């Protein structure tokens, strides 16, 4: 029985070359929705070391996985040659590269049994096309040639046609005495040079590996019964480089007026993000801090905002650990998954460690004015303590990692500072604008940039203690 699955298909590439694959998707699979990511900032991949290409590819994969894709196309030949096997082993969705489909098409099309391949240096050095063709038909002769000048031609916006024709012709003279009758475009950038390639070699059959890939994608959608019968979403295009240049290519090559979005992927994990943790909070600021820190450990983070059906757990404990345990263990049991909960708060020496576990509800106010009301009450309570030395305080964090099948793990940490006289800074939340981290400059936690805060905060210190334990738990 056919079912409708309108989740998007992810397409990743080192730059704009994968738009040739997206173009074929729009033509051949009009009901499917695309999430495209081009790593233009770090393009080209073809001249990089294999280890770096693999790291970059995993960062792209982890970005598009956040869009709940049902199938992944690695549209970059270099990334396919280096990372396809490991990514296929790591993911539980279909993953397809562009090399095998192009190789199969060349085997079908050649009459003389002599096939040429043009690709990046890394793809040629991997011999992926040669090995793929030889595995299926050892009688076919394969001649490979690296064309490192082609990708910059495509990525550029202002190269004259005459210049393109000249460079293409110079590169393809390599095949003058090779007697090939079929030529594989072994980089998804190269179809955008197809006119120049065909002018230089009108005697050969040109194979667009990207177009062949979409034929295989169509078969995979049918095989796994995950086709969409209607265009349910909007195609999304992301780039790590200039959105302005990327938008121009989208318009020129795909005839779309769509605007791309900037993607920041450099800090995403360079490995499989299958280690999932639920952070027991609906606090967006707190969730963002955890996501940033846990992402470095290779964890995919979800929050209670992803589970609206879970009711709030009442914090009836009298200590930070009791409250963190209540949240973590209750939710872990309900969802049957690992849950990380924290209970954190501010302890002020002069106020006998108040507000403590009542930090979030110190002023008895809820809603968008809660933080301002809590800060105002804190300043009022410290009116008689005028010297900064009398206003010592610390943020405390207790973390509880609850496992429905194991004992909970508990760690705690403190971040020492002082309470200032006026709120300062736009970053952070809660008491951050009053928490002075540097008494000499008066700089507050809310004036730290997120990266700096994620190194210093009470949650960062607690997570540092938990780091080794977390790795051990998730390696089981």
Catalytic residue of the set 43, 76, 147, 397: 76
pLDDT tens for 135-176 read 999 999 999 999 999 988 888 866 688 999 999 999 999 999
What span, in angstroms and rounded, lies between the C-alpha atoms of 329 and 324? Answer: 8
**Crossing angle for the helix pair 19-28 and 209-223, nearest 10 degrees?**
50
pTM, 2 dp:
0.60
Q: How many CB atoms lie within 10 A of CB 368?
A: 7
**DSSP code of 140?**
S
Catalytic residue of the set 43, 147, 187, 397: 187
Q: Name all domains of the chain by residue range, CATH numbers in brackets.
A: 9-97+212-260 (3.40.50.1860), 100-209 (3.40.50.1860), 275-474 (3.90.950.10)
Q: Percentage of residues in the chain with pLDDT exceeding 90?
A: 68
Q: HEC profile for 47-97? A: CCCHHHHHHHHHHHHHHHHCCCCCEEEECCHHHHHHHHHHHHHHCCCCEEC
pLDDT tens for 334-383 read 887 889 999 999 999 999 999 999 999 999 988 888 999 999 999 999 99
Told to judge if 76 belongs to the known catalytic residues of this protein, a careful annotator would answer: yes
pLDDT at position 161 is 87
75 backbone dihedrals φ, ψ, rounded to 5°: -85, -5
């Amino acid at each position: 029985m056919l079912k409708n699955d309108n989740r998007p298909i992810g397409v990743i590439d080192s730059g704009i070359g994968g738009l040739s694959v997206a173009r074929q998707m729009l033509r051949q699979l009009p009901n499917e929705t695309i999430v495209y990511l081009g790593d233009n900032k770090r393009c080209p991949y073809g001249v990089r070391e294999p280890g770096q290409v693999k790291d970059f590819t995993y960062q792209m994969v982890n970005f598009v996985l956040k869009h709940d894709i049902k199938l992944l196309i690695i549209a970059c030949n270099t990334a396919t040659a280096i990372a396809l096997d490991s990514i296929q082993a790591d993911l539980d969705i279909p993953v397809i590269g562009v090399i095998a489909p192009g190789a199969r098409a060349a085997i079908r099309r050649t009459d003389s049994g002599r096939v040429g391949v043009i690709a990046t240096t890394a793809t040629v050095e991997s011999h992926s096309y040669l090995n793929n063709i030889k595995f299926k038909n050892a009688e076919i002769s394969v001649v490979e040639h690296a064309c490192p000048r082609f990708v910059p031609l495509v990525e550029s916006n202002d190269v004259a046609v005459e210049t393109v024709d000249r460079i293409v012709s110079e590169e393809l003279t390599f095949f003058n005495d090779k007697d090939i009758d079929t030529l594989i475009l072994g980089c998804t950038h190269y179809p955008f040079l197809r006119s120049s390639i065909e002018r230089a070699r009108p005697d050969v059959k040109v194979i667009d590996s990207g177009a062949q890939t979409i034929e295989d994608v169509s078969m995979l959608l049918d095989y796994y019964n995950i086709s969409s019968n209607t265009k349910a979403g909007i195609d999304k295009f992301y780039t790590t480089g200039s959105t302005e240049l990327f938008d121009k290519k989208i318009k020129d090559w795909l005839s779309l007026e769509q605007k791309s979005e900037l993607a920041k992927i450099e800090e995403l994990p360079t490995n499989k993000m299958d280690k999932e943790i639920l952070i027991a909070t609906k606090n967006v600021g707190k969730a963002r801090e955890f996501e940033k820190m846990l992402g470095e450990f290779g964890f995919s983070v979800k929050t209670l905002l992803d589970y609206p059906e879970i009711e709030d757990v009442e914090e009836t404990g009298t200590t930070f650990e009791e409250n963190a345990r209540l949240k973590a263990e209750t939710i872990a049991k309900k969802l049957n998954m690992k849950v990380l909960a924290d209970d954190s708060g501010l302890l002020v020496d002069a106020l006998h460690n108040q507000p403590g576990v009542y930090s979030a509800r110190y002023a008895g106010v809820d809603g968008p004015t809660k933080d301002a009301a809590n800060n105002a009450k804190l300043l009022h309570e410290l009116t008689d303590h005028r010297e900064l030395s009398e206003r010592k305080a610390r943020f405390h964090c207790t973390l509880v990692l609850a496992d429905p099948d194991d004992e909970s793990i508990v760690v705690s940490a403190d971040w020492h500072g002082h309470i200032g006289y006026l709120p300062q800074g736009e970053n952070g939340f809660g008491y951050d604008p009053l928490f002075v981290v540097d008494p000499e400059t008066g700089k507050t936690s809310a004036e730290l940039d997120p990266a700096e805060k994620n190194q210093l905060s009470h949650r960062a210190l607690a997570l540092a203690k938990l780091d080794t334990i977390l790795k051990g738990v998730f390696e089981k």
